Structure 1
Amino acid sequence: MMAFRSVIALVSLLALPAVASDKLIQYIEYIGADYNAAVVDGKIVSEAEYGEMQEFSSLIAEEVSTASTALQQQSAQLKQLIATKAAEKDIQALTATMRQAVIAAMPSIPLPKQSPDIKRGEALFAANCASCHGATAKGDGPAGAQLDPAPTNFHEVERYQARSAYGLFNTISLGVADTGMASFAFLDEQSRWDLAFYVGHIASNDLDTSTVPDALIESSAVKDLLTATPKDLIQLYPDFGAALMSEFRSHPERFFQAKSKNPIVIAQQKLQLSADLYSQNPQAAYDQAVSAYLDGFELVENPLGTINAPLRDQIEHSMMGLRQLLKDPTQKAVVAPRIAEIQTLLKQAQTELSDTQLSGVNVFLAALLILLREGLEALLVVAAIYSVAVKTDKAALRHTVHIGWISALVLGAVTWFIASYVIDISGASRELTEGYTALVAAVILFYMGFWMHSKTSAKEWSHFIQHKVQNAVSGGAYAGLGLVVFLAVYREAFETILFYQALWLQGGEQAQQSFIAGIASALVLLAIVAVAMFKFALKLPLKTFFGSTALLMLVLAIVMAGKGIAALQEAGTLAVSQLNLPSISWLGFYPNTQGVLVQTALLLIALVYLVRSRKG
């Protein structure tokens, strides 16, 4: 299913505003759904419809002029295909790719505030739409007889398969330029959703929905179903994708009802769905297994670790191993037993966690350890760079450091608000954000570590003294150091906030005071560590200070590189080959070939540089 890739990607794509995105989806879906009414077998069958295809493709090109290069290229390709009267399958394949790219880039979509009401939608259709679309929605209403193009016949299965509920909602809200389809923005938002679901379900009334697994209904995200077309789901779930979309549009209340917030239950449901999907769609089964960990089990790792750390490690290792099995066609026979084994372990974890209601002591420890674990790494970076600013008497660098960590915390608060009230940030999005920020920070830290160390060589040190300490940190380095501070703090704040959301729900009202006490205690401990580190650093001789700071930056770069690789592996973006070694999370060491190779390479580069610089 489609999901947001990462918060960083969303922020960078804000150049594609929501209104423009709504129009884009409308134009793109319209071309994909109605192209066969304009061109058949390379010949124009309706000049009016073909003119609309050309007009809408030009409008798409205008809308994406500030978007990604890929989307601009696809837009140009779409115009070319229409100009050459290409086959319908080529048009539909391209428009499907473009629509998914636009939806993935949108920061949010207006989800219905409540489950759409099909009966109410039918009444709204009779009052507002039947005059053009006909009493039975076949496009044969008296007011539509003279319209060209003719009003939509909502019984056409092929057209139904190319439209998403969100696309229908946009058409109702915005209208369609240069056609008889006017905007119905005067209706309230919920009414427009009721209408969209009513017209969107008509062509699927005859489908048998009994084949849809309950686990799929339980675990499917409403946002994904709103933005998917029936063709999308058929491709994802060949055996019951069509039935799933029919059930969603005909009985939306089943999908809008409150879903379980228990991460263990979510993990169990997604694992069951992975087992159901494996025989027909291994990739979809793999995606569900990834989600079972990221959107389920990972959210209880910290509290479970305070109760039974060996069980936590066993489940994490087993779930990672399952993902490797799902990618290996030769291991089909052992997939089902492995899933059954993990389900047993999850039941044990559920018992250990006492139905997600943790004791006050466990909530306190989990809140304390989460913030300490995430905060110490960021603190090392901030303290090291701020010490450089103080030691070299660079007021501008001190300001840059403050701007970096304050802006990171502000964006962390914005992330919390978005995750709580606007969109659901998926586990994959969380890991992608953590992974990419860690890798970018690692690159900058690695470079800055070498730069710092260069100031400790005899020749450089003499030059350094002659030109005063104040000139050691150049203005050009400010931006890099400030970016490291921002990335280090935001990465940890992002992860901490989302883990705290889960812990707050798991602890319940009776543990809220313990939760707050754990955070307060962690902040006090971090403050003590920060003061101690800062005072120690300032007492070091300048040359020793630069040398030790350089070494710290190189070590932190290697740690962050390991964590970045691990995060991208957990998100399913990078392959993982497990090794039979223990994890050392505070060193960023995770037992897999890919991470070990990257960290070893960085370590060797650093060692070679340090040895050669000493000889020089």
Structure 2
Amino acid sequence: MKKLLLCLLLVALPGQASDSLIQLIEYIGADYKEAVQQGKVVNAAEFAEMQEFAGLIPAQLPAGHAELQQQAAQLQQMVATHADEAQIQQLTAAMRKAVIAAMPAVSLPQQVPDHARGKALYQQNCAVCHGSSGAGDGPAGSALDPAPTNFQETARYNARSLFGLFNTISLGVADTGMASFAHLDAQSRWDLAFYVGAIAAEDTDVSALAPALITQSAISGLLTATPNDMQLAAGEQGAAQMALFRREPAQFFHAKQLSPLAIAQQQLQLVQQQVQQQQYAQAYNHAVAAYLDGFELIENNLAAVDGALKDQIEQRMLQLRQLIKQQADPVGLEAEINTIQQLLQQAQQALDSTELAGVNVFLLALLILLREGLEALLVVAAIYSVAVKTEQPQLKRSVHYGWIAALALGALTWVLASFVITISGASRELTEGYTALIAAAMLFYMGFWMHSKTSAAQWQQFISRQVSKAMTSGAYFGLALVVFLAVYREVFETILFYQSLWLQGGNAHQFAFAAGIAAALLALLVIGVALFKFALKLPLKTFFGSTALLMIVLAMVMVGKGVMALQEAGIMAVSQLQLPTVSWLGIYPTIQGITAQLLVLALALVLLWRSKQQQ
């Protein structure tokens, strides 16, 4: 198994620009036998096609690769002189590996390929030519020259990678009946590639294998390697591993989505394509997705391994988004994208080589919940203390309704996000951003309501109003809503961070993961009880004054976090400042965020001054 995984890790990751080149090389290696056998041309049309495709390769090779240029020239010469099939296959295999090693990361499927869906797509789009069983005997195929591919043929199966099949489906094959299926979305094309790529592997014995979650690099290797590659690297076990991967891909990676880093790399490839076409709006959307749907979900895990690298990637991705908004020079943008891709590969290597130990999983689970939960706890404890201090049972019930509803909706969100829907990063940040801003406004209002009760006369007036039931159901609902928003916002974010940590920690650290959550809940309970008891011991004026100050500070924190979330979602401009980040106070080094917080502070000071004057 170690030899097999080493083979996979040595297979580099091809980029989008290499799609056509990989396709041409694989096609010649797989189909040459249809044109030439034993040194003689057996199909003139196929032979002409081989010559044409061999002639197209040199112009598509990456610059600065003299060995590849020599191999391309050798391939043209060998085709022209009717070389032996084995020699052609050996040369094209070497060329394909060299091209892969020279290119950036492969565009991976965002979800596990679905064989049932792939089969349905095949019957709808492919069976008419390739036959219902993939034998190349479809009713429309008899009129085609060259004939449609027989996917049951073992030799052809052994010479084609899944990545090559995906490219052929995406691009088609010039001067043949194989049309492009680019109108299908990328996931559908991957479903098709896995389905047709497994047809010849149905009878391969895989009973001795024990599939498990493997590294992202290994998955990429399985996508770009051919069965022949695997056979040479690891013998029969390698060939069986490839067959199992094609037949049951869900056994190799998480059934919901790939690694967040893989998503980030994929989105950056799309950014590069859009930049090359000067479609900056689309490029910006993909750059936002690269961070929110990808890197952000793995930040906590990477911080536990290499905090400096995590900060560097985060800063670079923010800089890239700004450059795209400015419609900077495409050459400079591509250089920035390549730098980020290299950093992401370093991050993947760091995570792959440093599997999270049980203690790290425990600490991350503990700190994530403590960080996200403390903010909500302060709001709940403050409002509940007011309810007890003012002897308002209805207000106490409102607080309980708020946090219970938030936890219930959070649990539903977790179920939906895990098994039903995919919550995009932009949707997540918009939810967090708007929720934070609404909560900030309500906390700000509550802070001044608290401040207005600091004098004895106003307190007596407040009591008399409660006796006369002046506090309406709408007011109770408003307070319950504040609690709900404060708690749900943190639950929502915690769920997504925990999903990523669960994947990184693996099954071996489930106990550490659960223990971290339990420890965080216990710590929050202790802190909450201590805050509550401390608040009740304060004199009335001090209690309302300190609670008012806490509410205003929390409002400033919420405003800072809300603005940052909207900036990360790409709907608010970002102007960076050379200042440190203090995330627990909602302070992020952007002009917009700092300005919003200063405005809240200024408004608070003005209102406090006016209130003081009136008193």
TM class by smaller structure: 0.5 to 0.7
The answer on whether the counterparts of 1:306 and 1:365 sit within 8 Å (CA) in structure 2 is no
* Cα displacement (A) at 1:379: 0.3
Q: Which residue of 2 aligns with 1:455?
A: 453
What is the DSSP-based 3-state SS (H/G/I as helix, E as strand, rest coil) of the residue aligned with 1:354? Answer: helix
Cα deviations across residues 461-516 of structure 1 (Å, max 9, x unaligned)? Answer: 45346667897865442111100100111111111111111110111111111111
Partner of residue 170 from structure 2, selected from 209, 221, 237: 209
1:313 aligns with 2:311: yes
CA distance in 1, matches of 2:190, 2:456: 76
CA distance in 2, matches of 1:122, 1:487: 48
Q: How does 1:215-294 map to 2 (within 5 A)?
A: 243-245=182-184, 252-254=191-193, 261-280=258-277, 281-294=279-292
CA distance in 2, matches of 1:472, 1:585: 40
The answer on whether the counterparts of 2:377 and 2:528 sit within 8 Å (CA) in structure 1 is yes
The answer on whether the counterparts of 2:169 and 2:181 sit within 8 Å (CA) in structure 1 is no
Q: How does 1:555-594 map to 2 (within 5 A)?
A: 555-594=553-592
* Cα displacement (A) at 1:459: 4.5
* Cα displacement (A) at 1:523: 0.9
Q: Which residue of 2 aligns with 1:423?
A: 421
CA distance in 2, matches of 1:250, 1:350: 26
1:117 aligns with 2:120: yes
Cα deviations across residues 376-414 of structure 1 (Å, max 9, x unaligned)? Answer: 001001101111111111111111111110111010011
Partner of residue 499 from structure 2, selected from 495, 498, 501: 501
Stretch deviating more after TM superposition (606-615 or 417-426): 606-615
CA distance in 1, matches of 2:172, 2:538: 70
Q: How does 1:43-54 map to 2 (within 5 A)?
A: none
CA distance in 2, matches of 1:306, 1:572: 27
Q: Which residue of 1 aligns with 2:215?
A: none
Aligned length: 402
CA distance in 1, matches of 2:519, 2:477: 33
Partner of residue 328 from structure 1, selected from 323, 326, 329: 326
Q: Which residue of 1 aligns with 2:202?
A: none
The residue type paired with residue 209 of structure 1 is S
Query: Structure 1 residues 591, 540: CA separation in 2 closer, same or farther (over 3 Å shift)?
Result: same
The answer on whether the counterparts of 1:383 and 1:534 sit within 8 Å (CA) in structure 2 is yes
Q: How does 1:128-139 map to 2 (within 5 A)?
A: none
What is the DSSP-based 3-state SS (H/G/I as helix, E as strand, rest coil) of the residue aligned with 1:243? Answer: coil
* Cα displacement (A) at 1:547: 1.3
The residue type paired with residue 435 of structure 1 is G
CA distance in 2, matches of 1:367, 1:243: 42
What is the DSSP-based 3-state SS (H/G/I as helix, E as strand, rest coil) of the residue aligned with 2:575? Answer: coil
CA distance in 2, matches of 1:402, 1:247: 46
The answer on whether the counterparts of 1:368 and 1:518 sit within 8 Å (CA) in structure 2 is yes
CA distance in 2, matches of 1:124, 1:211: 16
Query: Structure 1 residues 336, 249: CA separation in 2 closer, same or farther (over 3 Å shift)?
Result: closer
TM-score (norm 2): 0.60
CA distance in 2, matches of 1:117, 1:493: 39
CA distance in 2, matches of 1:377, 1:458: 30
CA distance in 2, matches of 1:353, 1:537: 44
The answer on whether the counterparts of 1:392 and 1:473 sit within 8 Å (CA) in structure 2 is no
CA distance in 1, matches of 2:555, 2:369: 21
Q: How does 1:135-154 map to 2 (within 5 A)?
A: none
The residue type paired with residue 499 of structure 1 is F
What is the DSSP-based 3-state SS (H/G/I as helix, E as strand, rest coil) of the residue aligned with 1:286? Answer: helix
Cα deviations across residues 262-307 of structure 1 (Å, max 9, x unaligned)? Answer: 1122212221221122121212211111111111111111122223
TM-score (norm 1): 0.60
What is the DSSP-based 3-state SS (H/G/I as helix, E as strand, rest coil) of the residue aligned with 1:115? Answer: helix
Partner of residue 403 from structure 1, selected from 398, 401, 425: 401
What is the DSSP-based 3-state SS (H/G/I as helix, E as strand, rest coil) of the residue aligned with 1:377? Answer: helix
The answer on whether the counterparts of 1:457 and 1:613 sit within 8 Å (CA) in structure 2 is no
Q: Which residue of 1 aligns with 2:58?
A: none
Query: Structure 1 residues 246, 363: CA separation in 2 closer, same or farther (over 3 Å shift)?
Result: closer
CA distance in 2, matches of 1:209, 1:604: 57
The residue type paired with residue 613 of structure 1 is S
Cα deviations across residues 66-100 of structure 1 (Å, max 9, x unaligned)? Answer: xxxxxxxxxxxxxxxxxxxxxxxxxxxxxxxxxxx
What is the DSSP-based 3-state SS (H/G/I as helix, E as strand, rest coil) of the residue aligned with 2:170? Answer: coil
- RMSD (Å), alpha carbons: 3.1
The residue type paired with residue 290 of structure 2 is A
What is the DSSP-based 3-state SS (H/G/I as helix, E as strand, rest coil) of the residue aligned with 1:209? Answer: helix
Query: Structure 1 residues 122, 383: CA separation in 2 closer, same or farther (over 3 Å shift)?
Result: same
Q: Which residue of 1 aligns with 2:548?
A: 550
CA distance in 2, matches of 1:244, 1:514: 46
Query: Structure 1 residues 510, 279: CA separation in 2 closer, same or farther (over 3 Å shift)?
Result: same
Name which one, 1 or 2, has greater alpha-carbon Rg: 2
Query: Structure 1 residues 298, 483: CA separation in 2 closer, same or farther (over 3 Å shift)?
Result: same
Q: Which residue of 1 aligns with 2:90?
A: none
Query: Structure 1 residues 251, 479: CA separation in 2 closer, same or farther (over 3 Å shift)?
Result: closer
Cα deviations across residues 529-555 of structure 1 (Å, max 9, x unaligned)? Answer: 001100001101122111111111111
* Cα displacement (A) at 1:337: 1.9
* Cα displacement (A) at 1:210: 2.5
The answer on whether the counterparts of 1:248 and 1:255 sit within 8 Å (CA) in structure 2 is no
- Identity, % of aligned pairs? 58
The residue type paired with residue 266 of structure 2 is Q
